[in-house]
Each structure stands twice: as C-alpha cells, then as structure tokens.
Structure 1
Amino acid sequence: MSRLEADCTRCAALCCVAPAFAKSSDFAVNKPAGQPCRNLGDDFRCGIHEELPRRGFKGCVVFDCFGAGQRITQETFDGRDWRGTPGIAGSMFALLPVVRQLHELLWLLTEAMELDEAAGLRPRLRAAFEEIDAVAARPADELRGLDVDTYRKSVVPLLRRVSDQARAGAGGRRPDHSGAQLIGRRFRGADLRGASFRGAVLVGADLSGADLRRADFTGADLRGADLRGADLTGALFLTPSQLRAAVTDAAR
C-alpha cells in the first residue's frame, strides 16, 4: 500500500528534526531532539542524500517512517509545517514516533492479509487494520501520548498465528530464533526455511547463501547482516529498511 511507504516530497522532513541521535557508526554527529539536522535544506530536503553512507549517516538510510511523516504533515496538520507555523512544531515532532508505530502495525497487517495462508484470518486482520487506521487519523491532541502498546498487544498474537501457518508449509526444521542474540553468527548456506527471527539481533551475521524461504523477520535487526546469495523467496514481514541495513546482492 503506497500510503504506508515514505514519501518525502509530501513530508516536512520530520525524521530529520524530531529524533535525537548520538555520534556513532550510524551518525556522524550528535543532534538533540527537535533540532534540524545540519544537512537539512530550506526546501526540507537532505543536502547529502546521495552520499549519506559515505558521509557517516547510515542510520538515515535505514530509517523508515512507513508513511507516517506525510500523514502527519498532510492530514493531521492539513499541509502546514513547523517552519511556516512554528507553534505546531512540538506537537508535530511528538507525533512522529506514535504514528510511525501505528503505521508499522498497518504495514505488518497489510503484509499478513496478502498471504494465502492467512485466508481464514483475513476478516480479523482487516478489522484490526481498520481500527488502527482510524486511530492514526485522530486529531493531534488525541494522538499525542497515545499508548501504542495497547494496539500492538492486540495485533501481535494475530500476526504470530499468521506466521505459524505460513511457516508450517515451508519444510525443514523451522528453527526458532525469536529474540535471540545472533551477532556475528555464521549461518552461511544453512537450511533456515520457515525459521523465526522475530526480534532477533542479527547484526553482522553471515546468512550468505542460506535458504530463508518463509522465514519470519518481524522486528529483526539486520544491520550489516550478509544476505548475499540467500533465498528470501516468500520471507515474512521483511521490510525495505531491513534490507537496506543488510549487505545484499543489490549492494554489489
């Protein structure tokens, strides 16, 4: 669904201002929350967008708002921005993490509904989607401080059921690595069909040439993970930002 994809042309660069970040391997400088990044131009565009990794801003490349930025800018605040209307700045910035989490849930539900194995659960998935979408459409004063965990807790068991059903037909051992610390782990060429990597930390892991068909990557940290030559056919809940964080054949 296109509205769950970031469209920076319709956003007021909220991700370049709202979050704080610390100087690290992901960011070249320290930046306090609510302060524009030094690379942000007057047109709300990044001045080094094509050079972000080389200039030390890999964290920007892998960030995904799932379309929350443009929804806040265009819908919640009717196209206004924090420069033209400074009085709304604090509220706009506070809403980004809230709406982003809601949109991530919407993205996961959308992915689930498209799976053949989810046919029996599709009405419940659709109902959950419509409820959360309606929440994300609320006015700013209702969204600010919203407890997103309430909605997450109602959705996660449903998504797990979809995952279990989808992975059941994958064959293989379907190893469960949910929440595991797998930093630098070697899985080269391994049969990981139907594996669960939900919430796993796979930073720098070697998954090159692995069979990852129908593996579940919900919330997995794939920064620097080597996915070159891996078979990701039908991988579950694998986001574009996770792939950007990893080393893939496309990066060659």
Structure 2
Amino acid sequence: MSRQHSATSDGDDLEEELEADLRADCANCFGLCCVALPFAAGADFAVDKPAGSACHNLAADFRCGIHSRLRAEGYPGCVAFDCFGAGQKVSKLTFGGQDWRGDSARARRMFDTFTVMRQLHEVLRYLTEALRLPAARPIHDELRRARAELWRATLGDVEELLALDVAALRERANTLLLRASELARCVVPGRKPDHRGADLTGARLRGARLAGASLRGASLLAADLTDADLRVADFTGADLRGADLSGADLEGSLFLTQPQLQAANGNEATRLPTGTPRPSHW
C-alpha cells in the first residue's frame, strides 16, 4: 500500500483497499497491542502489565507464544481485542518498517501513534458498515466524504497523526453514524427501546424484546440475553464481556464487532448477522 495511491483512493477503490486494511494482519505488525497497551489482572488478563512494556508471552519474532491457548492461559481479553488493521499500518507504513526495539524515543512515539490509529480505524470500520446499509442511502454521500477525510488522515506522518484532534473527528463521524442507525432501525415497527449508555451489568434480559434497540455504549457486562430478540439493534461501543447470547437473534444488528462477540458467550442457536464468523469458544 503506497501513500500516494491510498491518498487518492475514492469510491470503489477505497472500498477495496479498506476491505483488506481494516483487518488485523499480525504477521505484518511489531506486536504493538502486546506492548503499547496496559493489562490489568482479572477476568480478562492473567497478569498486570504497564503500557509500553512487552507482554512476557511476546516472542522475538513479535508473535504470541501462547496464541493457540490464550483463553486457557487466562487471556480472553487478548482474544477479544482487534486493532482493525491499525497495527500493521503503523508498523509498515507510518514507521516504514522500523520496530520499537532499541530506541525508547521511537518506541514511545510508535505506541502513541498506534493508540491514535486504532481509534481512527475503528471509526472507519463503522463508516464502512454504515455505507452498506440500504436504509442509510439518503446520507451515503456524506458518509463517503467523512470516510475519505478520515482515511486521508490515517496516511499522515507521525507528527500529523499525533496532532490530530481525534475526539473531534470521532464526534463528527458519530453524528452521521447516529443518523445511519436511526434510518436503519426504522424498519422495526413501533417504538424502539432506548438503552443508550445504560448500565445493564448483570441484567436479566432473557427473552427480552430488544429489536431495533439502541444499546450504544451500554454496559451489558455478564447480562443474561438468552433467547433475546436483538434484531437490528445498535451495538456501537456496547460492553458485552461475559454476556450470554445463547439462542439470541442478532440478525441485522448494527455496528456489532467481532471483538464484542469474542468477549461474549453464545451457542450454535445464536443467530448472527450474515457473514459474521461464530466465535470458536461458543
């Protein structure tokens, strides 16, 4: 991927480029998530690890030494994490293939850049999904412009990336994503449940009728959603760690990411959106 080609990509070209670049490619990353991010010992991680310190499971070739048994070793948080392609972009494009070892100043800048890039790529993933929603067609042009602007921002150099007002960029995109969500959820008749930002930790929602609901930013930590109707529900930023989705209907759900599903529990009866892989531990 060249900066020149990417910076001028638009329409179908950008769609094709994003298809690959919003997927994590650990083979082309310097293990940034295993170093830049902190771990807190608990249900998600077996040990404490400060930000900027390499995980003791990270091998010399930047691969995870226990990748095939992360859950069994007490690291389900690693299984659920997704950088949405930010790791390989920072490693290979922004820093031109220079890794973080042996230069503490470069390491700090690389880790800070990774944190910014991951946020940008996450929003790009949401904007790309919104553009695939037929109901959001009235704002597709605005979504395309916002996505192209954000994509160009990811191609900046280190100084440009670290100078970005990420909160402002996310807020502008979020305004469009909210509109896309509202348009898409209109297919569900009647009044839709609004649980945006709600604390539903451990909630007993077995069989709940939540079709078309807004669950944006809601805490559903360890919630019982067995057999719940969650069709066309908006899951943007919802915390599904330990939630039970056994038998739940998630068809057509909006902005539901693979990390969210990996953090939850389900079974063969859970109905997932078309094309969404079923987590191996379900």
RMSD over equivalenced CA pairs, Å: 1.3
- TM-score normalised by L of structure 2: 0.86
Matches within 5 A, 1:41-52: 41-52=59-70
The separation in 2 between residues aligned to 1:168 and 1:224, in whole angstroms, is 29
Match of 2:73 in 1: 55
Matches within 5 A, 1:29-178: 29-83=47-101, 88-178=106-196
- TM-score normalised by L of structure 1: 0.96
The separation in 2 between residues aligned to 1:189 and 1:131, in whole angstroms, is 42
Match of 2:235 among 214, 217, 228: 217
SS in 2 for 1:208: coil
Alignment deviations for residues 104-145 of structure 1 (CA, whole Å, 9 cap, x no partner)? 110000000000011111110000001011111110112125
The separation in 1 between residues aligned to 2:252 and 2:114, in whole angstroms, is 30
| 1:233 alignment partner AA | E
Alignment deviations for residues 199-239 of structure 1 (CA, whole Å, 9 cap, x no partner)? 00000111111111100000000001111111111100000
Match of 1:203 in 2: 221
- Give the CA deviation at 1:12: 0.5
Alignment deviations for residues 21-51 of structure 1 (CA, whole Å, 9 cap, x no partner)? 2222211111121111000000100001111
Checking the alignment, whether the CA contact within 8 Å between 1:203 and 1:224 is kept in structure 2 is: yes
The separation in 2 between residues aligned to 1:186 and 1:99, in whole angstroms, is 37
Is 1:230 the counterpart of 2:248 in the alignment? yes
Checking the alignment, whether the CA contact within 8 Å between 1:102 and 1:136 is kept in structure 2 is: yes
SS in 1 for 2:127: helix
Checking the alignment, whether the CA contact within 8 Å between 1:68 and 1:99 is kept in structure 2 is: yes
Checking the alignment, whether the CA contact within 8 Å between 1:172 and 1:191 is kept in structure 2 is: no
Is 1:186 the counterpart of 2:204 in the alignment? yes
Distance of aligned partners of 1:242 and 1:94 in 2 relative to their CA distance in 1, 3 Å threshold: same
Give ranges in structure 1 of 5+ residues lacking alignment: none
Match of 1:2 in 2: 20
Alignment deviations for residues 150-184 of structure 1 (CA, whole Å, 9 cap, x no partner)? 10111111111110111011235410000000011
- Give the CA deviation at 1:83: 2.6
The separation in 2 between residues aligned to 1:109 and 1:56, in whole angstroms, is 33
SS in 2 for 1:90: helix
Checking the alignment, whether the CA contact within 8 Å between 1:173 and 1:192 is kept in structure 2 is: no
Match of 1:24 among 42, 63, 70: 42
Give the aligned length. Answer: 252
Mean CA deviation greater in 206-215 or 20-29:
20-29
SS in 1 for 2:199: coil
Identity, in percent, stands at: 54
Distance of aligned partners of 1:66 and 1:243 in 2 relative to their CA distance in 1, 3 Å threshold: same
The separation in 1 between residues aligned to 2:123 and 2:178, in whole angstroms, is 13
Checking the alignment, whether the CA contact within 8 Å between 1:172 and 1:192 is kept in structure 2 is: no
Checking the alignment, whether the CA contact within 8 Å between 1:173 and 1:193 is kept in structure 2 is: no
Give ranges in structure 2 of 5+ residues lacking alignment: 1-18, 268-277
| 2:44 alignment partner AA | D
| 2:80 alignment partner AA | V
The separation in 2 between residues aligned to 1:86 and 1:11, in whole angstroms, is 18
